[in-house]
Structure 1
Amino acid sequence: MSGVKGKLLIVATVSGTLSGFLLPYADHFRSQGWIVDGAAQGVTMDPECHGHFDNLWEIEWSRNPWSWGNLKAGAQISDVVRRNCYDIVHVHTPVASFVTRLAVGVKHDLEKLRPVKTEDNKRRPVLVYTAHGFHCHPRASFTQKVLYCALEKLPARYTDALVVINREDERLARALRLAGSGHVYYMPGIGINLDAYSRRNVSFSELRAIRMELGLAPADHLFVIVAALMPGKRHQDAIRALSITGRRDFHLALAGVGPELERLRTLAAQLSVAARVHFLGRRSDVPQLLAAATALILPSDREGLPRSVLEAMAMGTPVVGTRIRGTRELLEEGAGLLVEIGDAAALASAMQWVVDHPQESAALAERAHKRVRRYALERIISLHETLYEQLLDRP
């Protein structure tokens, strides 16, 4: 293949991971002469992925790690890798990363046992795994730690490079040897486009349109959560905090979709704050929404390196988050406010503090804005370039 620098397969469990986070990587490496393919469930039907990859491969993963359907998915991804002779296979998200590394690694081991040597048993692609937050983290239960650490170690022998996106996971990966004989690399997240997330690009008319959409009075304060409506994001704590404040000029907007929607609607009604809790669904105007917000809230019980916090930092919007891995790393040293998981009263106090102390809140946001530059997308892509070059140069 004259002129082709290399062949890269980017793998995730669902297409939303590719379209939501990884398209800039596909675009960049294709522009550098790579052939870049994508594999995920639903990817061939995802219009956002078309045009960014050379080929798209549909893999029938189940998000349930215990599903027998993942055996079929393992055979599918192994076949895709075998037929296309990739130089690097880069996996993301727990199920896809676990199954892909095992399927490709075991397949290669079996091929090596064949008496007749072929290209299939001479060559295995480099396997890179980006962990977006280990499940066997310190806050997990003992059973979870044992189980998920065992699962992480199982495909570790086939991992040539393990990329972690926060320092806590880096320490864990090195202590438990989760990369096997491969190497652990720290990269600060998967990058944020600082041009897209800039207040300079948000007009007054856009801010006014959001406030009109939500029916806000001029003196009302808007708190925003940008996260899927999943149990681990703990939106209920923010709804309870809104009720605890007793402030009728406080509004909460939830941007995201997920299975918790009806339960959260019911809770808001039970607490008599339904008129001030706005369910926005999936939004394409997150920069404008963050610019209109008094603060971003993220009450999650587990994160890797939360994208919404980085987005708020880039927009100069104050952040209130929980004292957990990833969020703590971003907001420590006076870059935001931290509360304990599940402490709705503390969350209410933090919301009140942001409004009552506008100058101090602005100072927090300014420190965060200066810090966010180290997470710039172009820097993280450059780190991936260096990593790929090092891996391909190995004997």
Structure 2
Amino acid sequence: MIHRSVGKKMGETKKVLIVSSTASMIKQFNMRNIEILQELGNEVHVAANFVEPGTITKRMAEHLQEQLQEMGVTWYQVDFGRGAGSLKSNMKAYKQIHKIIKQGYSFVHTQASLASMLTRLATHVTKTPLIYMAHGFQFYKGSSTVSWLVYYNIEKFLSRWTDLLITINHEDTKLAKKKFHAGEVIEVPGVGINYNKFATPVGEDVIIKTRSELGVPQDAKLLISVGELSARKNHRIVIEALAKLNNPNLYYVIAGIGPLKDELNELIAQNHLGDNVKLLGYRSDLPELYQASNAAIFPSKFEGLMVAGMEAMAAGVPLLYADVRGIRDYSEDGRTGFSFNYDDVGSVAKAMKQLANVENRDALGISAQQHARQFEMAEIDGQMKAIYNQI
């Protein structure tokens, strides 16, 4: 799998570095990878931006640092920028990650586009074997010409310095195998979900209490989205569709934090939807929220392989979803929910009406729940353990 020699003596403990752009990616996508590596006898280090932690709060990032220390994991602050970063910030982050990697690692496991670009430049210099897990390329069918001209060509060039490329959706896998130069390409369906956590019924009393706390009448229809308040997650179009439908019995809640909070609140106010649409912030009670909802709606413009949709399905909730990469991989129109065009308000409103008019909404939920079982985290952990074992 990885052919470069790392000069380790027989019986010597391997030292592995996990790199992510933000602390939130460590918390959400890598804690089990750390545990797997430790179970295999590796010493694990982590490098990420804990100061600007992404989709978790700074207090949660501080708690994550404490948790890593308790696990015996050494962590490093690297000032990775958001998006494409800037020349100045990228040079600073490159110097930081290069200095860390120079300490000597058996291999590096990196993810996130910018962090992985800078990390691969560094591992090429140090001749350190590298695994890159792409959580959805920045280019995809239907994306801008600029994204293909810039990100595609950068990823294609750097793939020759990638010993193992792990993709998480079918579109990326097909492209990488056909066009890129990585030593090997393997598809792993994301990080998996805690199926039982979401599938276990929370009880009717909990559902009634949850709806009451949200200010949603027990006989009303409730939609939920979970995800960062960002342009990519595209919550705006759901709010516009609700304004178009003008149904006082239809409610919508969004669990998540992000840079568009003020913009979305303004849109809610402009459309006089303050009683029906609420931004909940970061929530840890997702099983209760999902099971209190009639459907989960995910209007993203693109995804890698969206975990939130799998969790909603595991909770027995039908999906209303944008027909895009990273969601269509595990959703089936008419069987697990209904699809729509992410940039068409009328299409979103139509999907909402389809769900409202469906004869057996429970059958959709049951089908979705059954379909989600294949993404149980134990299955994914087994695949990652096999990958690490071969290095």
TM-score of the two chains, using structure 1 as the length reference:
0.89
Partner in structure 2 of residue 112 of structure 1:
none
Q: Tell me the SS of whatever aligns to 2:109.
A: strand
Please state how far the C-alpha of 1:349 moved relative to its aligned partner: 2.2
1:23 aligns with 2:31: yes
Partner in structure 1 of residue 287 of structure 2:
287
CA distance in 1: counterparts of 2:200 and 2:237, whole angstroms: 28
**Which segment is superposed worse, 274-283 or 38-47?**
38-47
CA distance in 2: counterparts of 1:205 and 1:2, whole angstroms: 58
Please state how far the C-alpha of 1:367 moved relative to its aligned partner: 2.1
Q: Which amino acid aligns with 1:74?
A: Y
Partner in structure 2 of residue 188 of structure 1:
189
Please state how far the C-alpha of 1:5 moved relative to its aligned partner: 5.2
8 Å contact from structure 1 (residues 294, 355) kept in 2: no
Report sequence identity in percent.
31
**Which residue, out of 82, 94, 97, partners 1:63?**
82
Please state how far the C-alpha of 1:29 moved relative to its aligned partner: 2.4
1:339 aligns with 2:340: yes
Partner in structure 2 of residue 152 of structure 1:
155
Please state how far the C-alpha of 1:144 moved relative to its aligned partner: 1.8
Q: Tell me the SS of whatever aligns to 1:232.
A: coil
Q: Tell me the SS of whatever aligns to 1:213.
A: helix
Please state how far the C-alpha of 1:187 moved relative to its aligned partner: 0.7
Q: Tell me the SS of whatever aligns to 2:64.
A: coil
1:364 aligns with 2:367: no
Q: How many residues align?
A: 370
- Which structure's relative contact order is higher, taking Cα pairs within 8 Å and 6+ residues apart? 2
CA distance in 2: counterparts of 1:5 and 1:313, whole angstroms: 41
Q: Which amino acid aligns with 1:32?
A: L
What aligned pairs does 1:1-395 form with structure 2 within 5 A after superposition?
6-42=14-50, 46-52=62-68, 53=71, 54-67=73-86, 68-83=88-103, 85-105=104-124, 107-108=125-126, 124-177=127-180, 180-200=181-201, 202-332=202-332, 334-357=335-358, 359=360, 361-390=361-390, 392=391
Q: CA offsets, 1:5-38, max 9 Å, x none?
A: 5322111011011112211221232233221221
8 Å contact from structure 1 (residues 91, 128) kept in 2: yes
CA distance in 2: counterparts of 1:8 and 1:367, whole angstroms: 40
Q: CA offsets, 1:149-206, max 9 Å, x none?
A: 11112322210001000001111112221xx241111111111111322233x23333
Q: In the superposition, relative to structure 1, how do residues 86 and 346 fare at CA in structure 2: closer, same or farther (>3 Å)? A: same
**Which segment is superposed worse, 321-330 or 188-197?**
188-197
Please state how far the C-alpha of 1:373 moved relative to its aligned partner: 2.0
Q: In the superposition, relative to structure 1, how do residues 36 and 205 fare at CA in structure 2: closer, same or farther (>3 Å)? A: farther
Q: In the superposition, relative to structure 1, how do residues 292 and 156 fare at CA in structure 2: closer, same or farther (>3 Å)? A: same
Q: Tell me the SS of whatever aligns to 1:50.
A: helix
CA distance in 1: counterparts of 2:332 and 2:19, whole angstroms: 32
CA distance in 2: counterparts of 1:388 and 1:252, whole angstroms: 42
Please state how far the C-alpha of 1:237 moved relative to its aligned partner: 0.8
Q: In the superposition, relative to structure 1, how do residues 275 and 93 fare at CA in structure 2: closer, same or farther (>3 Å)? A: same
Partner in structure 2 of residue 118 of structure 1:
none
CA distance in 1: counterparts of 2:179 and 2:164, whole angstroms: 15
Q: Which amino acid aligns with 1:33?
A: G
CA distance in 1: counterparts of 2:66 and 2:32, whole angstroms: 13
Contiguous gaps of at least 5 residues in structure 2: 1-8, 54-60
Q: In the superposition, relative to structure 1, how do residues 37 and 283 fare at CA in structure 2: closer, same or farther (>3 Å)? A: same
CA distance in 2: counterparts of 1:58 and 1:47, whole angstroms: 15
Q: In the superposition, relative to structure 1, how do residues 197 and 32 fare at CA in structure 2: closer, same or farther (>3 Å)? A: farther
Q: In the superposition, relative to structure 1, how do residues 3 and 51 fare at CA in structure 2: closer, same or farther (>3 Å)? A: farther
Q: In the superposition, relative to structure 1, how do residues 270 and 40 fare at CA in structure 2: closer, same or farther (>3 Å)? A: same
CA distance in 1: counterparts of 2:12 and 2:384, whole angstroms: 18
